[in-house]
């Protein structure tokens, strides 16, 4: 049955659609809300209160993800195609989520790839830099099942040339060698 479009009814439906959309993970919420609202609006007839030639609201489209200039410079310098970013991260507007899986079984190499890709993820965020937190990398290594508890710190020391300073464990910054190694990690993990 076709319904009538009223301001009160529309407000109620919008609240209902927001509640439904919030049950899903962040990357899908906006699209789910759009689909629900669009389908609802198509199923109702405007009441006499609403002018027949009312302007349609602009569709809510996610912002296109723009790779920051510093990241583009590193990718360009080492000949890494920008489309590899989409194979490593899911992006929407200013949001970014890792979707990669570490393929190497050598835990020291895997740990370095996780740390380098975490620095890349942070550099992709607005105002971000090629840096990471040691604890964040530890947790990601655990999640990827490449954590080597006995040698975790040693792997960083053995690869210290990749980092500017390992003393500040919250802000480990990639060195020029680290950015070069990052390029290799992108190509190895993104395929």
For residue 65, the model assigns a pLDDT of 81
pLDDT for the residue 21: 77
β partners of residue 5: 46
What confidence score (pLDDT) does residue 61 get? 57
So what's the pLDDT on residue 82? 93
- Average pLDDT of the chain to the nearest whole number: 86
Please give the Cα distance from 164 to 12 (Å, whole number): 55
Tokens (6 digits) for 31:
């699209």
Name the DSSP letter for residue 164. Answer: S
- Where is average pLDDT lowest: 4-18, 62-76, 130-144? 4-18
Q: Among 112, 111, 126, 93, which Cα is nearest to 182's? A: 112
According to DSSP, the residues that pair with 52 across neighbouring strands are none
**What is the number of other CB atoms lying within 10 angstroms of the CB of residue 177?**
14
Q: What is the pLDDT of residues 36-61, one digit of tens each?
A: 877 777 776 655 554 555 566 656 55
160-173 per-position pLDDT tens digit: 999 998 999 999 99
Q: Which residue has the higher pLDDT, 33 or 145?
A: 145
Binning pLDDT at 50, 70 and 90, where does residue 1 land? very low
Containing 89, the helix (H) or strand (E) segment is strand 89-92
State whether residue 6 is helix, strand or coil. coil
């Amino acid at each position: 049955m076709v319904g009538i479009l009223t301001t009160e009814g529309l407000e109620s439906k919008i609240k209902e659609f927001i509640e439904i959309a919030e049950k899903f993970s962040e990357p899908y919420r906006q699209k789910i809300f759009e689909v629900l609202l669009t389908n609802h609006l198509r199923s109702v007839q405007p009441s006499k209160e609403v002018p027949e030639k009312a302007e349609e609201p602009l569709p809510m489209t996610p912002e296109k993800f723009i790779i920051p200039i510093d990241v583009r410079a590193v990718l360009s310098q080492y000949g890494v195609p920008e489309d590899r970013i989409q194979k490593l991260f899911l992006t929407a507007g200013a949001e970014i989520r890792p979707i990669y899986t570490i393929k190497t079984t050598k835990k020291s190499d895997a740990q370095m790839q996780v740390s380098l890709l975490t620095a890349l993820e942070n550099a992709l965020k607005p105002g971000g830099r090629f840096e990471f937190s040691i604890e964040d990398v530890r947790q990601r290594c655990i999640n990827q099942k490449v954590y080597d508890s006995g040698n975790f710190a040693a792997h960083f020391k053995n690869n210290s040339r990749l980092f500017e300073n390992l003393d500040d464990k919250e802000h480990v910054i990639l060195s020029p060698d680290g950015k070069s190694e990052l390029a290799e990690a992108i190509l190895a993990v993104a395929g």
